[in-house]
Chains A and B, each alone.
Chain A
Amino acid sequence: MPVKIEQLTHTYMKGSPFEATAIRDINLEIDDGEFIGLIGHTGSGKSTLIQHLNGLLLPTSGSLYVNDIKIDKDSKKLNALRQQVGLVFQYPEHQLFEETVYQDIAFGPKNLGLSEEEIDKRVQESATLVGLDLNELNDRSPFELSGGQRRRTAIAGVLAMEPKILVLDEPTAGLDPMGRDEIFSQIKDLHRKKNITIILVSHSMEDIAKLVGRIIVMNKGTVELTGKPGEIFAHADRLKEMGLGVPQVTGLMQALKVKGMDVPDDIYTLEQAKAVLTKILRGTGHA
């Protein structure tokens, strides 16, 4: 079992007047090669949960297993784990520090103690994966790049660790629509080519709907729903209660259903909607 979370609870600043429990009794299983969308309102515990996956936070109680590495409140020596789980934080470009793009991407593999050739191979590979042209950018300072390029450099820096599980926290926050589409299509490619597990944290239901195979919905520190996108979006009312929405297409179809049209309420892509609607329209046309 690649990722298994059991009774995971995390409390910040335990024993002080500022004590706060961020997540409580989480149980989850994630298979190899899955593409997971993690959604939830601000403060629902998403960030706390993903930081446990590579041991940046240790559980207050409960435990989790990542490819048979056990993490609980006494865990030490987490380097092996961090090699397996790559974590891309929000605004990852804020972590850039090296003099050149190349060196910054090489920082991770260097920390793993790899050989020069291996490091070079990984830098080239991960730069290509995120669509950076190293011929042009190799010796440029990361601070003179555009926002989108900087973000891709930072993501390449995580990919160069060759993680088996990649966690991305709002990877497109603050990017323009084009930059957003680019990043998403690269993530999709990455999932297809390398078959790694991807966990994508996002607020945007449209993006999640387009990309992921399974959705996990968090609310107030617990897992509220999990399932395929269609199943999740069928619970529009519950999502609304948690301060979340459904993709626009789903909203439209559900509104049509309320008006008395015979359409399913688990549609979440334009293609599906088109198929269903043309069928109905043609059907009525012939009748």
Chain B
Amino acid sequence: MLKDITLGQYYPEDSPVHKLDPRTKLVITFIYIIIIFFVRYYTGYLFILAFLLYTIYLSKIPIKYVIKGLRPLLFIIILTFILNIFFTSGDTVIFKVWRIVVTKEGLRQATFMALRLIFLVSGTSVMTLTTSPIALTDGIELLLKPLKVIKFPAHELAMMMTIALRFIPTLLEETDKIMKAQKARGADFESGNLLQRAKSLVPLLVPLFISAFRRADELAMAMEARCYRGGQGRTRMKILTVEGRDYLAYAVTMLMVTAILLNSYL
């Protein structure tokens, strides 16, 4: 039940996209997000769509899987769509009910925004689907390293993220287990009004917090026992290297960026 969330869950596969350096994927995702905001006409989205579909095709991830990941955000996408229809002013009125006016400009703006959201979410989820959490945090750490000059704790941040990600499945499993144990004692998590439901969560949350603290304590102890002292002088087992395919990926991205800029501002 809790395990059904696909958004951002790593999908193991042997593909050129999976093999890209995580830094490359992070940078390209960053460029991708920015360039989406530069699109001014629908034709610009064609380039985004082509780029996205090509990446998904290369990554061997079933496209159904990416679309399924959009489902939790459906509500936000629809809400954005509706708000934009009603709150965009324009001249070409399509129809008018009482004081609600729907204009052609409003409709266009709404579709445009909804598409923007869909592209943003599916693009970023393709990155997390093809990059294992550990590779991702490694990439973030290396990208943030130059900020050390201004005392930015890049290593600590990356370590925290790694640990947090590492414990998500563990805690989900734990939640599932405690929930079952309490259900076996007749606890009811599904019915009642809002207050009753909130109250019924106590038997779940208390043991969960206790076990989270216990695990944190044990982990800290285990790290200390193995002489963990932060990032100073720490070497890595897998050294990230930028290879030919990374340059190729940058080239394709630049192609898309140029196409969109030309399409939007020329």
Contact = CB atoms under 8 A, between A and B. Distances in A.
Contact of B186 (A83, A94, A95): A83
A92 B181 CA distance: 8
A97 B202 contact: yes
Contacts of B178: 94-95
Contacts of A94: 174, 177-178, 181, 207, 210-211
Given A13-B3, A95-B178, A97-B202, A87 B207 contact: no
Given A56-B180, A89-B177, A97 B186 contact: no
Tell me the interface secondary structure of chain B in the complex.
Answer: helix
Contact of A107 (B177, B185, B210, B211): B185
Nearest to B176: A56
A71 interface: no
B259 interface: no
A51 B178 CA distance: 13
Interface string A90-104: 001011110000000
Nearest to A86: B184
B180 A51 contact: yes
A97 B184 contact: no
B185 A111 contact: yes
Interface string A73-116: 00000010011001101001011110000000001100110000
Contact of B185 (A13, A51, A157): A157
Tell me the interface secondary structure of chain A in the complex.
Answer: helix
Contacts of B203: 95, 97, 107
B207 A95 contact: yes
A247 B87 CA distance: 77
Contacts of A157: 185
A54 interface: yes
A143 interface: yes
Nearest to A91: B177
Contact of A108 (B3, B177, B185, B211): B185
Interface string A150-184: 00000001100100000000000000000000000
Given A17-B11, A89-B184, A95-B203, 9 more contacts: A13-B3, A56-B180, A83-B186, A89-B181, A94-B174, A94-B178, A95-B181, A97-B206, A108-B185
7 contacts: A17-B11, A56-B183, A83-B186, A95-B185, A95-B203, A107-B203, A157-B185
Interface of A: 13, 17, 51, 54, 56, 79, 82-83, 86-87, 89, 92, 94-97, 107-108, 111-112, 143, 157-158, 161
